Structure 1
Amino acid sequence: MNDQIKDAVLRMAWEDRTTFEEIEKRFGLNEAAVIRIMRQSLKPSGFRMWRRRVSGRITKHRKTFEARRAELKPSAWRDEVSGSE
């Protein structure tokens, strides 16, 4: 893996709104591979901070994020917003 790809993966892994699925789709790296790259690239304290941050984020997993968003939007509200009352 070249440095440009590694830097892009590191940047995307730190972003709150970028899911592991998006990283896998773009680079072919599953969650375990991303974790391995982060562990190798960051200082131990930085890696622990990142893991705590990622573990508390529903947005890092597409299924969890989409399920949570659907939960938060009642169907009546969705109808009002879309204009299909």
Structure 2
Amino acid sequence: MHFKEPDISRIIEMAWEDRTPYEAINTLYGITDSQLVTFMRKHVSNNSFKVWRKRHRGRKNKHLQLRSSQVNRSHCSTQYKPR
């Protein structure tokens, strides 16, 4: 898969965000969970990858099916305020 630099940056950002589910990345960019691991390994440093992988392994809020029904959006209420 080949992405432009802004898309690569956005995918990495979404992967690091706690509340953005993997399904959102799949919907927007067509990357599955296993492909995301390969993508992150390729596009971030080894140390960053290890930290990301350790942090997100088994994280329930990154999968829509495992997520609490109380979480009804993927961003903080103050994240997208008009400027």
TM range (shorter): 0.7 to 0.9
TM-score, normalisation: structure 1: 0.73
The runs of 5 or more residues in structure 1 that have no matched partner are: 73-85
TM-score, normalisation: structure 2: 0.74
For the aligned residue pairs, the C-alpha RMSD in angstroms reads 1.5
Q: Give the aligned length.
A: 68
- The within-5 A match list for 1:1-85 is 1-65=3-67, 69-70=68-69
Q: Which has the larger radius of gyration?
A: 1
Aligned to 1:82: none
Whichever structure has more helix as a proportion of its residues is 1
Q: Which has the higher contact order (CA 8 A, sep 6+)?
A: 2
**Identical aligned pairs, as a percentage?**
29
Letter in 2 for 1:9: I
Q: Deviation per CA, 1:16-46, whole angstroms, max 9, x where unpaired?
A: 0001101001111111121111101111111
- In the TM superposition, residue 56 of structure 1 has moved relative to its aligned partner by 4.1
